Structure 1
């Protein structure tokens, strides 16, 4: 467009030279001269105005030219203030997010991620893969494991465990666990019957062994244990079952409210985190996760076509159809973005300001001019044509007078 605008200006100069040389041939040539002369003036004036925004025209240090390079820092501060005032205030973010059903949009994408979004998905997957492969695995793994360990150290585990156990008891989800433990106890006793009988035989006195009562005693003990476990398993209100449930309820209460129990759990957690076996487990977990993530991002089609894709599609359909879930997700997204704008709005706009300030004047000039360059050249073209039309009008008025 710069070439087109410059060519038009040169064309006006050629027409002006031609019309001035042959102006006496015909009265119409005078109109051509007036048009070309005024068009040159308009084109040159707008060329000067456009050029003065970005640089000194012809390299001459004319005052109030090269406006953008000379005012780069002020422009950066103005851009940052504009962003913060008009985009990153909590009120603006909340109002904008209130009008957006982000949950439904997310659901539509997850339900059918191949509908026009493959380039986005593939590009994001490639970026993640490049980052994972370019960073040092040991260093990145150390950061990830360190962050996870720090979060675990800060997490007070006892109340969380107590609340989970209390919720499980309230919903009855503890019963299958109790029944499984009872069955496992019966299986353990059955698998170790010879050992139990031998232990009773060794502890029995001579008279019991001589009369053979030790074997009867062992069988009676085993039968009693089997009967007790079977009754506990099938009788909902069995005393042993109630005792187990009471013990679990007391444990859930102590985990939340007992300071000594909480301190004991924290000590156990600290010992586990300091154990070298836990560090080795974290290493293996990180390596498996990193390898799996690389496989997924390097083959997003395959990942989305398998179980992960089916799960994401089900989640997407739920987000599209469940209005209550949409409200929850939208409220979470709104609160999250409002929180981000409140906490980090000033840092974001400062990042914009400092980034622009660090650019050299030529970089700022090239980027802004590249963004709006076509429209700037249309200003030159319009100036040339409008100037020519004004010249025609003035020439017509001059002849009329």
Structure 2
């Protein structure tokens, strides 16, 4: 059960009340002492009361001095070893920082604590709830909107253009294209494309039988009879169809081998032949210098920004729904998959351990530096507000213990020495 948190005003009021109680006890004992001292000759039993009151006053005054000496000079008199906190503020801050670093910012302590907390399972159980996933999506949308508002469009476009030129335009295309093509051709992945092209050509030839005849007639001399053109055209179409079917059926056809050799040679030239590499780069420059390509690059950010803005503003958008589903799925996996949860817990513990190991001195230094910048009187007041109320109980206890001690001493002495 957590304790209620008090503000400084409430603490100050409580401290004043406890001071009044402790001081009131001292005043009461002083009155009792005066009365009992004055009447003890007439009423001998008041000697015991006087002794108890006398011991209580001694205890109350001693503890008042001890408590007061922590925060100030008692009654303004600069007695040595008083006003301890204001005088040793910096040493206290340094000791407190060192204590926190040694006992709380220890890699071993942090790792053991996080390892026993099962953060992954708890986070997973929270994330897999629909309302939690919706909250994560809402916060994520707010973060994205904030980022999009902060980012300068012109600056983003400049960065995109710079990245595109550095990673796409500036590097030579020949060698990387050659390496990719060489691997594709060596493994025969292009054969399916060749089959598709041959099949398409064959289908077109069969579907357009008059085209070849017309081409033959257009290119033959005018004095050649038309029936000869028809015969030649039919013959050419038959031979073309036979050739294409042979290529289709024979995977080791001479044309296929010639094509393979040509493509493999082209792949090697792209990597080794300066002239071919220069041609590839020239084609690249020609294509990428096209104004439409440049416009497309500059419009990329606007398109991305508009799409993101529209998606995050709509709680029912596909992006938002997919994000929620992904969050819930991840949470379910964390909560139900011991192996994944163990990995995440280990990662969290290792990351926290690394941060503590690397930055514990800096973190603890914040305490030391903060206390050093405090005013001495302010520091004394801050600490007194936190613990002063409990310290007043020391005064009360000292009063009670002193009274009992005084009574006990007087009783023993009276019994022994009569």
Deviation for aligned residue 1:384: 4.0
Specify the alignment match of 1:122 in structure 2: 138
Specify the alignment match of 1:91 in structure 2: none
User: Is residue 2:181 matched to residue 1:181?
Assistant: no
Specify the alignment match of 1:58 in structure 2: none
Instruction: Kindly provide the CA deviation profile for residues 192-215 of structure 1, in whole angstroms up to 9, marking residues without a partner as x.
Output: 76555433322212343x252223
| Separation in structure 2 between the aligned mates of residue 15 and residue 315 of structure 1, nearest angstrom | 59
* Contact 2:15/2:385 (<8 A) preserved: no
* Contact 2:212/2:236 (<8 A) preserved: no
TM-score by length of 1: 0.60
User: Equivalences for 1:67-216 in 2 at 5 Å?
Assistant: 114=130, 116-169=132-185, 172-186=188-202, 196-208=212-224, 210-216=225-231
Partner of residue 240 from structure 2, selected from 225, 246, 257:
225
Partner of residue 243 from structure 1, selected from 254, 258, 279:
258
Please give the secondary structure, in 2, of the residue aligned with 1:173.
coil
Q: Give the greater-gyration-radius structure (CA).
A: 2
| Separation in structure 2 between the aligned mates of residue 310 and residue 37 of structure 1, nearest angstrom | 69
Q: Do the aligned partners of residues 119 and 188 (structure 1) sit closer, same or farther apart at CA in structure 2, a change above 3 Å counting?
A: same
Q: Do the aligned partners of residues 378 and 312 (structure 1) sit closer, same or farther apart at CA in structure 2, a change above 3 Å counting?
A: closer
Deviation for aligned residue 1:127: 0.8
| Separation in structure 1 between the aligned mates of residue 187 and residue 287 of structure 2, nearest angstrom | 30
Q: Do the aligned partners of residues 68 and 399 (structure 1) sit closer, same or farther apart at CA in structure 2, a change above 3 Å counting?
A: closer
Instruction: Kindly provide the CA deviation profile for residues 148-206 of structure 1, in whole angstroms up to 9, marking residues without a partner as x.
Output: 33222354433433343344445543233222222343456567765554333222123
* Contact 2:56/2:402 (<8 A) preserved: no
User: Equivalences for 1:1-400 in 2 at 5 Å?
Assistant: 1=6, 2-23=8-29, 24-25=31-32, 65=89, 114=130, 116-169=132-185, 172-186=188-202, 196-208=212-224, 210-255=225-270, 257-260=271-274, 261-299=276-314, 302-303=317-318, 378-386=386-394, 388-389=396-397, 392-393=400-401, 396-397=404-405, 400=408
The alignment yields a C-alpha RMSD, in angstroms, of 5.9
| Separation in structure 1 between the aligned mates of residue 132 and residue 401 of structure 2, nearest angstrom | 54
Q: Gapped runs of 5+ residues in structure 1?
A: 49-61, 88-103
Q: Gapped runs of 5+ residues in structure 2?
A: 1-5, 34-48, 73-85, 109-119, 410-418
Deviation for aligned residue 1:230: 3.2
Q: Do the aligned partners of residues 288 and 46 (structure 1) sit closer, same or farther apart at CA in structure 2, a change above 3 Å counting?
A: farther
| Separation in structure 1 between the aligned mates of residue 331 and residue 264 of structure 2, nearest angstrom | 38
